[in-house]
Amino acid sequence: MTTVTEKAKGFIQVDKRDAKLALAHIYVAFIALFIGGLCGLLQVLVRSGQFTLPWGITYYQILTVHGVLLGLILTTYFIFGFQIAAVSRTAGTLTDKQRSIGWIGFWTMTAGTVAASIMVLLNEASVLYTFYAPLQAHWIFYVGMALVVVGSWIGGIAQIMKYVEWRKANPGQPSPLITFMVVVNLAMWIICSLGVAVEVVFQLIPWSLGWVDKIDVLLSRTLFWYFGHPLVYFWLLPAYMVWYVVIPKIIGGKIFSDALARLSFMLFLIFSIPVGFHHQLTEPGIDSFWKYLQVVLTMMVVIPSLLTAFSLFASFEIRGRELGAKGVFGWFKKLPWKDARFVVPFIGMAAFIPAGAGGIINASHQMNQIIHNTIWVTGHFHLTLATTVVLTFFGAAYWLIPHLTGRILTKQMNHLAIIQAIVWTVGMSIMSGAMHIVGLFGAPRRSDFSTYGGSEQAADWIPYQIAQAVGGTILFIGIILVLYIVAHLLWFAPKGKTEFPIGEVSEHAEKTPMVLENWKIWLTICILLILFAYTIPVIDMIQNAPPGSKGYKLW
């Protein structure tokens, strides 16, 4: 069930040298999960009001560690480990040059991570993972962040080079689906992270070094959120790769349509970036017309999301019926409910239904005022990132790691993996549920425990904060479980061969039109939309800029 032996047709093993590069990323990802998760546990405990941090550690310091490690490091490293393996599996082993570039990217990112982490631990950078000016961190923190971004470009280029090589070797043919998806994700990542790179390199670093006295706050926030929203799609698209390409194989079915999968990825590319203002809806200095325009563009991702939901459930239903399912919903029972590789990501998919609905509320122009910067938002992205994406990544790790280490997921570990996902679901339902509800009452996110001067309203929030601590504690148990499984798969599981499942396209699917792989068209649309959404408001921001701000260290 959980392993596929050598007799399986078309078994392709990722080259050992590529596996090593992918595993290096995965190690860092899970170390980040442990430290970041521990900080998350401490946060919910502090906020319950029953616990104070020892040794002069502040709430905002651990909040910074939690956000940076889980939002930026865990995600980027796992994604790169997964993507490198996926490209190597489907487009062929990396050349020595490509692999060296991959390693340079890895070490650049890691040097940046270490530098930034040291500054946070020294309490020189308690600015949270959004590092909003004019709170001013130590310049080394910003340099570290810049290295993470630049390292990701270098590592990304290694993956793109393999794709380019494949296209040249196979003219006129659509590239392997998952490799294509990797390249879409990287294209989006590179285009969006240019924004944060400009913010860090041209605004934050010169300002924190004292080369310039003042910073343009609104411009820095706009550059950040030009990056910040596509960032969440950068997390999500690898989960979609697993859903579109891997899950159909795991359930024994076929990919519903290669063309629709590619179309939905291209739509994500063009509609993920020109949307950052929906994080800035309550800010002064941006005309409400441009806010509304970006709200409309934001909502366009509903279309590829619906395409995705349809394709996935079509794959499920077709497979269930092949297995003899009857009635309208009989196929649902036929899905492999005992296979962690399916069940764990499936819970992630299910979580995306409330998560997506919450996201629509958040980005709804005036409705945003009800929830902006309340802990509802924290509840929201603990469903999107910390459930949908993370559970899909865990589910992928259960075949990816043993594939790369030449081991197998044993029956016991498969069982434990399902228990882990249930623990996660219970913990997250309690924590995220409590966050959503109390957020509607007005409880703020990113805030230390406080009675707010004895306010009656704030007193009503405390039971929900205790519920968050209960949920958060259960989630930490979930982290220990997943780390146990991962350690087993890395070092202790029995030797053997595990498949890297790659689905085949259904024979009923249409031939893929090559226009979907015409980068000139899609990148042009992408850039035009960005220029359309941002040019006028950014010029306005610069022309009407107030006197800038000096730096503050208020922690």
Partner 1 sequence: MHIHKYEKWWLTLGATSLVVFLIIVGISAFHYGSHPPSAKVYIDPERVDEIAPFNNPGVHKVEGKDWDYEVVFVASAFYYNPPEIEVPFGSTVKFIATTKDVVHGFQVAGTNINMMLEPGYVSEYVTTVDKAGEFLILCNEYCGVGHSTMTSMLKVVE
Report in angstroms how near the CB of residue 171 gets to partner 1 at its nearest: 21
Contact criterion met (CB below 8 Å) for 388 and 348: yes
Which residues sit opposite 444 in a β-bridge? Answer: 374
Report in angstroms how near the CB of residue 313 gets to partner 1 at its nearest: 10
Which two structure tokens, joined as six digits, stand for 423? 């623990």
**By three-state DSSP, how is residue 297 classified?**
helix
Choose which of 447, 477, 497, 504 interacts with partner 1 (CB under 8 A): 447
Site string for partner 1, 220-259 (x = CB under 8 A): -x-------------------------------------x
Kindly name the residue from 66, 262, 341, 380 that is annotated as catalytic: 380
The angle formed by the CA atoms of residues 167, 500 and 414, to the nearest 5 degrees, is: 160
Kindly name the residue from 229, 279, 341, 372 that is annotated as catalytic: 229
Greatest Cα pair distance in the chain: 71
Query: Is residue 49 a contact point for partner 1 (CB under 8 A)?
Result: no
Annotated active-site residue 380? The verdict is yes
Query: Is residue 132 a contact point for partner 1 (CB under 8 A)?
Result: yes
Choose which of 111, 446, 483, 529 interacts with partner 1 (CB under 8 A): 446
Of the candidate spans 247-255, 300-308, 351-359, 425-433, the one that interacts with partner 1 by CB under 8 A turns out to be 300-308
Report in angstroms how near the CB of residue 113 gets to partner 1 at its nearest: 22
Query: Is residue 165 a contact point for partner 1 (CB under 8 A)?
Result: no
Of the candidate spans 297-305, 332-340, 343-351, 467-475, the one that interacts with partner 1 by CB under 8 A turns out to be 297-305
Query: What is the per-residue DSSP string for 495-549?
Result: B-------PPBPTTSPPPPGGGG-HHHHHHHHHHHHHHHHHHHHHHHHHT----B
Find tokens 């401490």 and name the residue. 42
Of 426 and 545, which CB lies nearer to partner 1 in the complex structure?
A: 545
Question: 8 burial class (0-12, 13-18, 19+ CB within 10 angstroms)?
Answer: exposed
Query: Is residue 444 a contact point for partner 1 (CB under 8 A)?
Result: yes
Choose which of 23, 73, 116, 218 interacts with partner 1 (CB under 8 A): 218
Q: Residue 147 is inside which H or E element, if any?
A: helix 139-169
Kindly name the residue from 141, 233, 394, 464 that is annotated as catalytic: 233
Kindly name the residue from 240, 256, 381, 464 that is annotated as catalytic: 381
Annotated active-site residue 382? The verdict is yes
Annotated active-site residue 415? The verdict is no
Of 93 and 130, which CB lies nearer to partner 1 in the complex structure?
A: 130
Centre a 10 Å sphere on the Cβ of residue 83 and count the other Cβ atoms it contains: 26
Choose which of 27, 51, 202, 452 interacts with partner 1 (CB under 8 A): 452
Kindly name the residue from 310, 332, 446, 449 that is annotated as catalytic: 446
Of 34 and 290, which CB lies nearer to partner 1 in the complex structure?
A: 290
Three-state DSSP string of 191-245: HHHHHHHHHHHHHHHHHHCCCCCCECHHHHHHHHHHHHHHHHHHHHHHHHHHHHH
Choose which of 93, 364, 429, 473 interacts with partner 1 (CB under 8 A): 364
Annotated active-site residue 138? The verdict is no
Report in angstroms how near the CB of residue 155 gets to partner 1 at its nearest: 31
Query: Is residue 549 a contact point for partner 1 (CB under 8 A)?
Result: yes
For residue 505, give every residue at least 6 positions away whose Cβ sits within 8 Å of its Cβ, in sequence order, or none.
177, 254, 255, 257, 258
Query: Is residue 321 a contact point for partner 1 (CB under 8 A)?
Result: no
Question: 182 burial class (0-12, 13-18, 19+ CB within 10 angstroms)?
Answer: buried
Nearest to residue 479, comparing CAs of 80, 69, 92, 37?
Answer: 37
Centre a 10 Å sphere on the Cβ of residue 542 and count the other Cβ atoms it contains: 11
Query: Is residue 429 a contact point for partner 1 (CB under 8 A)?
Result: no
Nearest to residue 14, comparing CAs of 403, 492, 485?
Answer: 403
Going 240 to 244 to 246 to 247, the CA torsion angle's sign is positive
Q: How many residues bind partner 1 (CB under 8 A)?
A: 70
The angle formed by the CA atoms of residues 109, 114 and 117, to the nearest 5 degrees, is: 120
Tell me the angle at which helices 217-241 and 519-543 cross, rounded to the nearest 10 degrees.
160
Q: Residue 95 is inside which H or E element, if any?
A: none
Site string for partner 1, 176-205 (x = CB under 8 A): ------------------------------
Of 207 and 398, which CB lies nearer to partner 1 in the complex structure?
A: 207
Choose which of 282, 412, 518, 524 interacts with partner 1 (CB under 8 A): 282
Distances (CA, A) of 495 to 341, 395, 410, 491: 19, 20, 10, 10
Of 441 and 519, which CB lies nearer to partner 1 in the complex structure?
A: 441
Positions touching partner 1 (CB under 8 A) are 58, 60, 63, 128, 132, 134-135, 217-218, 221, 259-260, 263, 280-288, 291-292, 295-296, 299, 302-303, 306-307, 310, 314, 364-370, 372-374, 441-450, 452-453, 455-458, 510, 513, 544-549, 552, 554-555
Residues recognised as catalytic: 229, 233, 380-382, 445-446
